[in-house]
Chain A
Amino acid sequence: MEQDLKNLKIELSKNGIFTTTLEEIYNWGRKNSVWPLTFGLACCAIEMIATTMARYDLARFGAEVFRPSPRQADLIIVSGTVTKKMAPQVVRLYNQMPEPKYVIAMGACAISGGPFRDGYNVLKGIDRYIPVDVHIPGCPPRPEALIHAFMTLQKKIEEQSLSGAERPRHLQADLPSEFPVPTFGEHGLEPAQNTDVFLAENGNPLRVIQ
């Protein structure tokens, strides 16, 4: 049945008739026009800037303009170390972005704290507070790695369905699109992590003491 449909599509297109599904065209438009937020924290930001420059040119993938305002951006590339002092602002910016929104954690620091993990002011990964879609390892990742991450995100968007239980967060009314902002405590951030976001997956280093 699948193969018959495919053959029908090919035959029709040979005669100048283009067929698609609503899902395909909706996702095609979305994945080819992802506009990132101008959000550079540290060294990875310089590689992100280099990716937008003439040699690597991220604009040809659809990231034509980097928007300075979170209200107009689709993607936040957390590039660089997130410190505890900066973490509330990152979460606030994420909350201000309208749905559908995506997060790329670029570099070892944004994934897990990176080489600065032992620091008292370093947040051990931005996925302690906001959900991350694509992680890119590297310190810093090469511009080609950022392009690969962008393409992975595009593939992820392409595969999102419009209906059914698997539909993405922005089409499910009961899932939250804003996450609580941590506050500055006396010794660190309070809470130290958002367990709705961080405890959900296995493999994170959080040890729960009952």
Chain B
Amino acid sequence: MITDVAELERVAAVNEDGLGDIMEVSMGPHHPSTHGVFRMDVRLEGERVVRLKPVFGYLHRNHEKIAEHGAYLSAIPYTDRLDYLCSMTNNWGYVLAVEKLAGIAVPERAEYIRVIVAELTRFQNHAGLVGFLLQDMGASGTPLMYAFREREKVLDLFESLSGARMMCNYMRFGGVRVDCSAAWLTETRQLVGRLPGFVDEFESLLRANEILMARTQGTGVLPRELAVNAGVTGPMLRASGVNYDVRKVDKYGIYDRFSFRVPLGEHGDVYDRYMMRILEMRESVKILEQALRDIPAGPIMDPKVRLRGLRPKAGEAYGRIESPKGELGFFLISDGSGNPYRYRVRPPSMINLTILEDMCLGENIADTVIILGSVDIVLGEVDR
């Protein structure tokens, strides 16, 4: 609803010129783009976007309040449900923060298992994202079918390891919940052996697709300085050319033992963000091959940790990891009791949305959907 007098005069002038009408459109919270209950209030001049305000909170499930009422251990299944496509990496972010808060060490084998499941998660997330992005562009379902075919294989591995396909609830403070068997490792090695072939097939089907090229190159450009100032992280930041990957900066876990590259983009448009995911899938396969080759025998949990009655000393800690969406962090304040006094999630999807308006201004409304698709949001994380 336009109430500003100057704005109304401008609208009248535009209408007289016949260049287009000003129209306010609410895209969402229910719309065919499969990113969840997200709404964009868009003001259009003809087909071009002149203003875009994201509105969310439709999936605000009070994760932080519930976690503050429960023990440290009972927050782990809730972290599964934050970014519900990547439950393993969510678990890792939280247990890393608690391990920093309470000073808990993790044995070698558990670190290797964590890296293996995290990189498998990253792989299936990026494959799914390319599938969803192509679906937003109109390729109704076929790339997604290819992506989900591989995702199902990864979920089979997760199910045999942790008992659940999606909500794995697998990591604990000081290690992981159950050990992986030699048979599981053999099956994982076989799957990882086939993954490069899948990425080649996937990419070859899309590489020269003219609709993909025409729609994504030059669309939704995000300049470097704005990306850094707006706290954008993950593949979206690296597509704009900023070399910042928490795995390389913090070297958490045992990531400093693996040799892998950090792909960087040049233009910061949707095409670069799509290419980031493809390249990171290949890097994840490299890390998986190294981890599966070097995983030692040994214990998987620190035996001194009291999981159920964990009472860290009063203090605070911020622990962060590189999740497939960006920097996922957990800020915990302990008051010495068994419940966290303050439990805060740093949601990469929500913070990456800060500059959605900047990227979409001047673009056609049809392109806002693919720009949003390239940001890679999951509403469970945006709203918590």
Contact = CB atoms under 8 A, between A and B. Distances in A.
Interface of A: 38-43, 45-47, 49-50, 53-55, 68, 80-81, 83, 85-86, 89, 93, 115-116, 118-122, 139-140, 142
Taking chain A's interface residues, is the majority helix, strand, or loop, or is none over half, making it mixed? Answer: loop
Given A42-B380, A81-B59, A89 B66 contact: no
9 contacts: A38-B32, A45-B34, A46-B85, A53-B144, A86-B58, A119-B65, A120-B62, A121-B61, A122-B61
B37 interface: yes
B362 interface: no
Contacts of B37: 41, 86
Nearest to B87: A43
Nearest to B144: A53
A119 B62 contact: yes
B167 A86 contact: no
Contacts of B151: 50
A119 B58 contact: no
Given A41-B58, A80-B59, A140-B167, 4 more contacts: A116-B63, A116-B66, A119-B65, A121-B60
A42 B77 CA distance: 15
Contacts of B167: 43, 139-140
**Nearest 8 interchain pairs by C-beta:** A119-B62, A43-B84, A68-B32, A53-B148, A86-B58, A116-B61, A121-B60, A55-B152
A53 B65 contact: no
B253 interface: no
A154 B63 CA distance: 36
A42 B81 CA distance: 9
Contacts of A85: 57-58, 60
Interface in B264-282: none
A68 to B, nearest CB: 4
Nearest to A118: B66
Contact of A116 (B58, B62, B149): B62
A47 B380 CA distance: 14
Contact of A42 (B31, B145, B379): B379
If over half of B's interface residues share one DSSP class (helix, strand or loop), that class is named, otherwise mixed; here it is loop
A39 B145 contact: no
Contact of A115 (B34, B78, B145, B380): B78
Contacts of A119: 61-62, 65-66
A83 B38 CA distance: 13
Given A41-B59, A81-B59, A86 B66 contact: no
A81 B66 CA distance: 15
B59 A42 contact: yes
A109 to B, nearest CB: 8
A53 B145 CA distance: 6
Nearest to B57: A85
Contacts of B152: 50, 53, 55
B59 A140 contact: no
A47 B144 CA distance: 14
Nearest to B156: A55
A155 B244 CA distance: 55
Contacts of A116: 61-63, 66
A40 B62 contact: no
Contacts of A40: 34, 36
Contacts of B69: 118
Contacts of A86: 29, 37, 58-59
A83 B148 contact: no
B30 interface: yes
B314 to A, nearest CB: 25
A83 B380 contact: no
B168 to A, nearest CB: 12
Contacts of B78: 115
A65 B187 CA distance: 35
Contacts of A49: 34, 144, 148
Given A68-B32, A89-B30, A116-B62, A54 B380 contact: no
A111 to B, nearest CB: 15
A47 B85 CA distance: 10
A38 B58 CA distance: 16
B166 interface: yes
B164 to A, nearest CB: 9
Contact of A43 (B34, B144, B145, B166): B166
Select the residue from A40, A53, A93, A119 with max chain B CB neighbours within 10 A.
Answer: A53
Nearest to A66: B32
A41 B167 CA distance: 16
A58 B66 CA distance: 35
A83 B59 contact: yes
A120 B63 CA distance: 10
Contact of B61 (A39, A45, A81, A142): A81
B177 interface: no
